[in-house]
């Protein structure tokens, strides 16, 4: 089993739709969680950290469920510019960060 698992997609949604991605992790000692966005042929960029209480940044909401060992990313009112690959990143205290394989989102007009 992979340390970090994501549904690769692709998710194809119309503009304005709400879409959610989940990411599961296997190590219960994981402490820090992030969502990154990677556009085609570009570097990954930090989208948002994920906090225990959940956090929101505009149209984006991140949640952490420690009991079930998953994090989620919700995108409301999807824009064409949201089309990208979304990477889940999990870090164990004092250890390296592990990247998921990514979920590809395509928002269509």
Partner 1 sequence: ETGVTQTPRHLVMGMTNKKSLKCEQHLGHNAMYWYKQSAKKPLELMFVYNFKEQTENNSVPSRFSPECPNSSHLFLHLHTLQPEDSALYLCASSQSPDRTRGIGYTFGSGTRLTVV
Residues of this chain that bind partner 1 (CB under 8 A): 31-32, 34, 36, 41-46, 49, 51, 87, 89, 91, 93-97, 99-102
SS3 per residue for 30-82: EEEEEEEEECCCCCEEEEEEECCCCEEECCEEEEEECCCCEEEEEECCCCHHH
Nearer to partner 1, 8 or 16 (CB): 8
Residue 98 CB, shortest distance to partner 1, in Å, is 8
Q: How far is the CB of 83 from partner 1 (least distance, A)?
A: 16
Measured CA to CA, the distance from residue 37 to residue 52 in angstroms comes to 21
Instruction: Give least dist CB 95 to partner 1, A.
Output: 7
């Amino acid at each position: 089993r992979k340390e970090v698992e994501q549904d690769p997609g692709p998710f194809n949604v119309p503009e304005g739709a709400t879409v959610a991605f989940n990411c599961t992790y296997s190590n219960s000692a994981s402490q820090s969680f992030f969502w990154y966005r990677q556009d085609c042929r570009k570097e990954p960029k930090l989208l948002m950290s994920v906090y225990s209480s959940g956090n929101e940044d505009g149209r984006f909401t991140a949640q952490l469920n420690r009991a079930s060992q998953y994090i989620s990313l919700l995108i409301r009112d999807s824009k064409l510019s949201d089309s990208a690959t979304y990477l889940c990143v999990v870090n164990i205290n004092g250890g390296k960060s592990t990247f998921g394989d990514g979920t590809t989102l395509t928002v269509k007009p």
